[in-house]
Homo-oligomer: A and B are copies of this chain.
Amino acid sequence: MKNGLNNNPIGMFDSGLGGLTVLKELVKILPSENIIYFGDTARVPYGTKSENAVRNFSRQITKFLIGHNVKLILVACNTASALALNDIKKIAKEIPVIGVIKSGVRAAVSETVNKKIGIIGTPATIKSESYQNAVKIFNKKIKIVQQPCPLFVPLVEEGWIYGKIMKDIAKIYLHPLKKAGCDVVILGCTHYPIIKEIIQEVVGEKIKLIDSAEEVSKDVKKILSNKGLIRTANSRGNLKFYVSDAPDKFSKLSKIFLGKIISGVKKVSIE
């Protein structure tokens, strides 16, 4: 690799705001890295769109990130990781590409004792069976229980992340996973780390929750390290935010995800 590539940014994207939970973990682990975040807020949510639409959107965003000379592409969106990772890799060529799914699955497989893993996510992620297939690559004997939770994302974006309604809905969604006796549950959507505590309370302390945001951030560090691409400067990295619609709303809602409001969000056209 050429000298100077170390200062190039990490590119990451999500259908909207959810990927900010991944950004939060990434900045914790790699505080000196420059990062470009793209949120496809004009077309959010991906979880209810068709496979072809999600693949098309992902290809467009990949080209945008490559145009910003990124040194690695992190697909922070579970739906895009499930449906479009190969399309993204084809376009990215020698730029390493990593999605949230594989990292979460590897951690889950190493944590489960009774070989029963639960997976929660958006309807599209669950329907794609990508988590299920990824688990099978590691260990074919593991039993998988999947549960789509379509109301979690709108509840988080409404800010109803505590309280009775959140808990009542969580009980309905999570009951089948408890009943099946899973000892590990993967949070298969980037919005879910925000409601991790309430999910833990509902499933009980005996079930270990896997936060894909943490796991994928550790893997990004490993990849950059292996390729000699870690930014060595002692200064904190620059963070740049781009969206396809409504930058003000993105700024405002970023408080739920990052605990602080992001300013300077730029709107760009992606087509």
A interface with B by C-beta (< 8 Å)? 41-44, 48-50, 52-53, 150-151, 153-155, 157-158, 160, 164-165, 168-169, 172, 245-246, 249, 271
Q: Are B151 and A48 in contact (CB under 8 A)?
A: no
A43 cross-chain contacts in B, Cβ below 8 A: 42-43
A-B contacts besides A41-B49, A53-B245, A165-B165, 6 pairs, CB < 8 Å? A42-B49, A43-B43, A44-B48, A150-B158, A164-B168, A168-B168
Closest CB pairs A-B (n = 6) = A154-B154, A50-B246, A53-B245, A50-B245, A150-B158, A42-B53
Count of chain copies: 2
Jot down 9 A-B pairs with beta carbons below 8 A, ordered by A.
A42-B43, A48-B249, A49-B246, A53-B245, A150-B158, A151-B151, A151-B154, A165-B165, A165-B168
Given contacts A151-B151, A154-B154, A155-B151, contact A49 B245 (CB under 8 A): yes
Bound-state CA distance A271–B172 (Å) is 40
Bound-state CA distance A271–B270 (Å) is 12
Bound-state CA distance A42–B168 (Å) is 31
